[in-house]
């Protein structure tokens, strides 16, 4: 008869091996993609309230994958965005293999462990939330855990954070104080980022022609959430968007 404790330990070793295994690279996915769309699962926002309260993490992220997303972003903040870590676990269990961004307001190492444990490939670090030194510490820790980092900046003073060498440099078109969105922010700041940076434009993108113009400005990733989530079928909306982009 097999020793039960031995069986439990062997199973735990297999589970840990999966946690430590290399995750799909968001950076490489964006560089290889024709569209670079990071489709976001976002049920709520602080400024607009519920966008899709009934949105299912076991359905929409997988639909995004089937309809051409290069990567996914899943909100895990509960009070302001109606999310949770289990949404990423559920998406993975549904069959999602694309890189997933753990999107939250990360200010402590414990959140990086949470990102790893739920199956994320990359984590968002927001310059506006962190001192430069704290951002460096969290970035180093994320990398040690096998997570890529999308470093989000919004204003010219924050661009100095790009010196830290994140895997991807994001420009948020939404002011996190007022929540006003202006895509011109990406165009204004693009040339100030390192030439070899993998640039991601975040928020306020609703038209295919905007992506075409942003690509010409050097961007390789485009995070889109509300435009898809406010429709009856976010995956179908993504497919239509991509078809318009390619036409």
pLDDT tens column, 172-201 = 998 766 677 889 999 999 999 999 999 999
81-116 pLDDT, tens digit per residue, is 999 999 999 999 999 999 999 999 999 999 999 999
Instruction: Enter the tokens of residue 236.
Output: 């179908």
H-run or E-run covering 212: helix 208-216
Residue-wise over 167-192: b if at least 16 C-beta within 10 A, else e?
bbbbbbbbeeeeeebebebbbebbee
Max CA pair span of the chain: 69
Q: Which residues partner with 73 through β-bridges?
A: 40, 101
Name residue, tokens 């429709």. Answer: 231
- Which residue stretches of 119-178 are H helix? 132-144
What gap in Å lies between CA 245 and CA 243, rounded to an integer?
Answer: 5
pLDDT of residue 23: 82
Instruction: Give the Cα-Cα-Cα angle 111, 186, 34 (nearest 5 degrees).
Output: 80
Please provide the average confidence, as pLDDT, over all residues in the chain: 94
Task: List residues bridging with 122 in a β-sheet.
Answer: 101, 148
What pLDDT sits at residue 15?
83
pLDDT for the residue 19: 75
Q: Which two tokens stand for residue 145?
A: 């855990």
pTM score: 0.92
Superfamily of the domain at 28-246? Aldolase class I (3.20.20.70)
The residues that are catalytic are: 40, 42, 103, 152, 172, 202-203
At 1 the pLDDT is: 58
């Amino acid at each position: 008869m097999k020793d039960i404790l031995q069986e439990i330990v062997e199973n735990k070793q297999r589970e840990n091996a999966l946690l430590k295994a290399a995750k799909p690279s968001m950076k490489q996915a964006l560089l290889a993609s024709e569209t670079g769309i990071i489709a976001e699962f976002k049920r709520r926002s602080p400024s607009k309230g519920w966008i899709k309260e009934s949105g299912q993490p076991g359905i929409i992220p997988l639909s995004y994958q089937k309809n051409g997303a290069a990567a996914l972003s899943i909100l895990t903040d509960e009070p302001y965005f109606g999310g949770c870590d289990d949404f990423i676990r559920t998406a993975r269990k549904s069959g999602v293999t694309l890189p997933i961004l753990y999107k939250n307001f990360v200010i402590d190492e414990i959140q990086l462990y949470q990102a790893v444990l739920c199956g994320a490939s990359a984590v968002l670090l927001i310059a506006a939330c962190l001192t430069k030194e704290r951002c460096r510490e969290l970035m180093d820790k994320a990398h040690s855990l096998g997570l890529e980092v999308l470093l989000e900046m919004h204003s010219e003073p924050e661009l100095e954070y790009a010196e830290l060498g994140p895997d991807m440099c994001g420009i948020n078109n939404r002011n996190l104080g007022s929540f006003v969105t202006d895509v011109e922010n990406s165009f204004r700041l693009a040339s100030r980022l390192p030439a070899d940076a993998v640039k991601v434009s975040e928020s306020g993108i609703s038209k295919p022609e905007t992506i075409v113009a942003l690509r010409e400005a050097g961007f390789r990733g485009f995070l889109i959430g509300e435009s898809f989530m406010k429709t009856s079928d976010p995956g179908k909306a993504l497919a239509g968007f991509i078809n318009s982009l390619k036409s």
